[in-house]
Structure 1
Amino acid sequence: INFEQYLRPKQPHKITPLQCFDRPETKLNKCCRQLKRLKLLRWHRQLSGQVAQALQQLPLPRFLHFLRARQDDGLCKPKTGFEIYCEMSSIHGFHIFVGACTWQRVLWWLLICTAVLLSLLVLFMSHLMSKSMPTISYIDAITRPMSAAPMPFPALTICSLNRVSSWHRYGQLLKSNVSWSQLLQQLSPQMCETQFKACKWRGRHLSCDSLLSTIWISSRGWARCCSFKQTAACEGAQCNPAQGLNMRLASQRQDYASSLTAATGFELLLHEAHSIGIESTQRVYLPSGSVSRLMILPYKTHASAYVADLSLNKRGCYLSQERSLFHFAVYSEDNCLAECRSRAIYEKCNCASPFMPKRSAWPICQLQQLSCVLNKDLNWLKRQPLCNCLPACHFHRYVLQSDITALDKNSATHTNDLNVSDELIVNIHFVALGGEQLRFDVYETWLTFIGTFGGITGLFMGCSFVSVFELIFFVCVRPACNWLTRQQIRYRLRKRQR
């Protein structure tokens, strides 16, 4: 086929020549034409051309020889593997290498190297953050209903501010041959039997003896206290937050012989049901002649399965059944500190203080060893770093909000025999039907690492898994296939020559 004959018009007499129209003269065209005549702009165009020519002839290292522009039109000389990769690459900026000048290639190469360095820097900073802070707490639910996740009622330890009862003649007790524990039992007021007048639990009037039990604490001197513990969580209609624990107590001022403060009343400690009250336990003072409304905000923290894969030093808490105690059945930080304190006293004095956690083989200290116990006892600041008592990974925390007002005898809820100056009323209940649930988790898992890596590399370079596969294909697979093809062609040529 003669293409020249084919492209000629079939009817030359009907050919219409192209018409040339003059571009209308506008103010913008006149302004541009005047600016082109300025020496400054002409010098700028000339200088730009010289700089581009100098960059074109700039000597490049051998490993950057691919940045030099092609000297042909791209039709005679076959394209290199780098140019083919740039045309097909999904990474941002690589397609500009095809058909660009040398200085443009160098500029884009510097920009790409800067993006790679920035992405590596941000990835390294993210790795340092995950190393310095391996765990983090998330809020799973702000108000999780108790019907879906039952929240146990906290344990309450109520202690009188009076430590010694005036009804006992402690002068005669000191002369008699009594032990330290017997002396404490006889001097401490019998508050559970005499100072609790009425109790009401979840809307039902119950005997205080069935709800309370006697417990001894030694956080601020030995004291006989009353403990309220309900291990069963409320379910269904019992979860009414307004129906908590209501108590009516009598401080018995005439029995005060040695008080912690100048006021009369009680001290209430709030903690978990399986823990014991220590110096750091949350507490509130309940003065005589008052109505105390204590509102509880519950918080539940549970650890995810990824936390178990971390070492103890990184997660900073004990899992369930990871550390056992010799006295308490359930581990908690308060129980661990109480046992550590008792162990330290036993190592120094060869005995355990009365009413403190101890092993069955440890003897109880007598009055002759009181000075040793008081001198060798560890205070709160020294006990923390020596005992290695970390918090539990699964625990409940309660925040207490109090509203204390003066006791009014004319109130309809009070009985007629109420002694306003000596008695007090305490109402303890949950604030709402739900509690906040927290999740203790690792800062970075393999899934979050993939998301972080993909987000950072995608932001700076536009990379993805497809980009990685492309790079592997053009660096490894394609050269290997080309080499095998050349070897096969050479083998065929040698075979034909034979």
Structure 2
Amino acid sequence: MKRSVKDIPQLEAGSKPGDDLFKPKKKYPSFWKNLTNYITEFTENTSLHGVRYLGEKKRTVFEKICWTTIFAISLFLCIELILKTYQKWDNSPVIVSFAQSPTPVWQIPFPAVTICPEMKMRQRVFNYTDFYHRNLANNLTEEEAKQYSDASLVCDTHLFHHGGNLTNLETLDFLAKVAPQFEEVLMMCKWTNMNETCSNLYTTVLTEDGICFTFNMLDRDDIYTNEVYHNKDFLKHGHDRHGWTLEKGYLKDAGRNTFPRRALSSGSKAGLTLLLRAFEQDIDYICKGPVQGFKLLFHHPLEVPRMSTQYFRVPLNQEVIVNVKPDMITISEALRNYDPHRRQCYFSSERQLRYYKNYTQQNCEVECLTNFTLATCGCVAHHMPHTESTPICGSGNTICMAMAVHKLLAVQVDEGISSFHEGDDEIKEGKCNCLPACTSLTYNAETSQADFNWQALFRAYKSDLNEFPGIQMARVTIFFKEMQFITSERNELYGYTDFLANCGGLLGLFIGFSFLSVIETIYFVTLRLVCNVRRYGRHYWSGSPELVNNDAYDHKK
């Protein structure tokens, strides 16, 4: 049989005479063959449970299907549990627990005590009842109508709301003039069982309830920013705070007599005693209704009082004993790196308010209400913080201001209900976004009262009651109930270490996965592959003996 030229093997380059020129041409494994062999080598050497049975060549198809199903189910359950762990870590990273040791009461300030008389104006100076009836009869001059309109700002909203929509800063001068005076209301003050002048303890403050008096509250320069305009000396007492902050408390070098004041112990002898006074001839029953006496509110020294939202009463001719129990929540520094909405609170450095130097939830809510009222009514209430150019609402906007409060609350509730129905576990704070402060301090009060028969006491001392015509008195004693209290603390429920440990436990339990398994996988797809190619040639990925023959070694050489 004749052979063609094509059938004659050609001399390879570099071959020497005598070489076997008729040796068959070497066949290299295909890409898919290399890939299959390499995957088989990986399954035989990996530390993952059950994977080795998927690549064994001696296993039947049925066995491989069974092990593939088992591995897939284990992987699915593992991923499902890891996702639930992540959701719990993401939604509830914080737990509030009790501190390991009690806190003595001298480490925190004595509560700021704000007192507001129910009597908003003295009838001897301005008879609101008379003006009310004269207004119904249209018998007021223009100046009297202006005074009646201004006075109605601190009375019940249903009485009069037909005055001007805007007013001026002279309104505050008028309200301060007709209001009960400081020296008339505070007859006697005793702090830590020592008599002191009330003017040294108390200062005047403007609230939504009119002119009030407050004890142990910081100076306005420590509360408000420079943007807030003040036209009177409200909350200006000049006491310097000695390094106290809500988050860090008192400085270590703060002495016993510091400001804000702190009680040295529990009990009535280490507290505050007040003798309050009102005059029957000055009481007006139309402005604020039939209940007369005083409103009392406790708050910490950095917080602005909101007398319309929470208070308790001190009736006339009654003695009220108030046992105070602090409630303080602190936070672990480990939570500082968390997003505020995950830990559900703000550090003071994370949220800067426009009108207040220090962030608290209540200060934030007051500022938000101020902005909302300005946007809704075009002005703000006389007691709200504002700039010098901000319009002040008159009695004509009384209904609008009341509706602004209602609308803002409705918006917050609607957003909260919406997020609840949508399955969003994150607490919504509406447009205000007023989360609690990470360190908060509140004062819970337990009260008891009894008849204060001061007339019998005066007669026993043979004092002439005619010297006190129409006088009504009330006495209040405020003190800490116990020497120590238990502080609550926000801590990590699931930290990064806890989350990784839980995930690692689940991965190890179901598929034997560990950190070294990740390194092992990376090694097989990078370093081992490169080393095999360099050692056995680019046509051979695996280093298994059955896959690398002597010709490959000869070819490499």
- Identify the residue that residue 335 of structure 1 maps to in structure 2: 363
Q: Does 1:226 align with 2:213?
A: yes
Q: Which amino acid aligns with 1:114?
A: I
Of 183, 199, 205 in structure 1, the residue corresponding to residue 195 of structure 2 is 205
One-letter amino acid matched to 1:401: A
Residue in structure 2 matched with residue 463 of structure 1 by the alignment: 513
Give the distance between the partners of 1:92 and 1:492, measured in 2 at CA.
34
Distance 1:432 1:462 in 2: 55
Q: Separation in 2 of the partners of 1:159 and 1:464?
A: 66
Whether 2:283 is the aligned partner of 1:283: answer no
> What residue ranges of structure 1 are gaps of 5+ in the alignment?
1-61, 67-78
Match status 1:268 vs 2:291: no
For 2:76 and 2:506, how far apart are their aligned partners in 1?
11
Alignment partners' CA distance in 2, 1:364 and 1:424 = 36
Please tell me the root mean square deviation across aligned C-alpha atoms, in Å: 4.4
1:123 to 52, 58, 82: 82
Residue 114 (structure 1) aligns with? 73
Q: Where in structure 2 are the equivalents of 1:10-159 lying within 5 Å?
A: 81=41, 84-85=44-45, 89=47, 91-92=48-49, 102=60, 106-131=65-90, 133=91, 136-139=94-97, 141=99, 143-146=101-104, 150-159=107-116
| 150-159 or 466-475, which deviates more | 466-475
The AA in structure 2 aligned to 1:240 is S
Aligned to 2:425: none
For residues 363 and 127 of structure 2, the distance between their equivalents in structure 1, rounded to whole angstroms, comes to 32
Q: CA deviation at 1:119?
A: 1.0
Unaligned runs of 5+ in 2: 1-31, 132-139, 148-169, 219-243, 257-262, 413-429, 466-470, 539-549
- Tell me how far apart the structure 1 counterparts of residues 362 and 78 of structure 2 sit (CA, whole Å): 46
Confirm or deny: 8 A CA contact 1:352 1:364 kept in the other structure.
yes
The equivalent residue for 1:382 is 407
Q: Pick one of 241, 246, 249 that aligns with 2:276.
A: 249
Matched residue, 1:12: none
> What do residues 147-170 of structure 1 show as CA deviations (whole Å, max 9, x unaligned)?
8x9323332211122233333343
Partner SS for 1:257 = coil
**Closer/same/farther in 2, CA of residues 345 and 466 from structure 1, 3 Å limit:** closer
Q: Which residue matches 2:222?
A: none
**Structure 1 stretch displaced more, 476-485 or 192-201:** 476-485
The letter of the residue matching 1:115 is S
Alignment check: 8 A CA contact 1:345 1:373 kept: no
Q: Does 1:187 align with 2:182?
A: no
Deviation at 1:274, TM superposition (A): 2.0
Helix, strand or coil for the counterpart of 1:118? helix
Letter of the structure 2 residue corresponding to residue 163 of structure 1: K
Using the TM superposition, give the Cα deviation of residue 212 of structure 1 relative to its aligned residue in structure 2, in angstroms.
0.8
| Cα distance, 1:390 vs structure 2 | 1.4
One-letter code aligned to 1:81: E
Q: Which has the larger radius of gyration?
A: 1
Counterpart Cα distance in 2 of 1:467 and 1:495: 32
Which residue number corresponds to residue 299 of structure 1? 328
Residue 183 of structure 1 deviates from its aligned partner by 3.5
C-alpha distance in 1 between matches for 2:458 and 2:519: 80
Q: Displacement, 1:214?
A: 1.0
Question: How many Å separate the matches in 1 of 2:523 and 2:374?
Answer: 71
- 8 Å CA contact retained: 1:308, 1:319: no
| Shift in Å, 1:299 | 0.9
SS in 2 for 1:290: strand
1:487–1:340 Cα change, 3 Å: closer
8 Å Cα contact 1:291-1:407 kept in structure 2: no
Are the counterparts in 1 of residues 536 and 553 from structure 2 also a CA contact under 8 Å? no
Q: Give the structure 1 partner of residue 480 of structure 2.
A: 429
Counterparts of 1:463 and 1:298, CA distance in 2: 47
Equivalent position SS for 1:152: coil
The code of the aligned residue for 2:554 comes to L
Contact 1:246 1:427 in 2 (8 A): yes
How has the CA–CA distance of structure 1 residues 440 and 100 changed in structure 2, closer, same or farther, with 3 Å as cutoff?
same
Alpha-carbon contact 1:349-1:373 (below 8 Å) kept: no
Change (3 A) 1:199 1:323: same
Q: What is the aligned partner in structure 2 of residue 7 from structure 1?
A: none
> Residues 142 and 299 from structure 1, CA distance in 2 versus in 1: closer, same or farther, beyond 3 angstroms?
farther
TM-score w.r.t. structure 1 length? 0.66
Aligned-pair CA distance for 1:128: 3.6
Higher relative contact order (CA 8 A, sep 6+): 2
Deviation at 1:217, TM superposition (A): 1.1
Is the partner of 1:165 in helix, strand or coil? coil
Return the alpha-carbon distance in structure 2 between the equivalents of residues 158 and 134 of structure 1.
40
Q: Deviations over 1:196-254 (max 9, x none)?
A: 33323234332222111111211xxx422111125556778754233232323335455
Offset at 1:344? 5.0
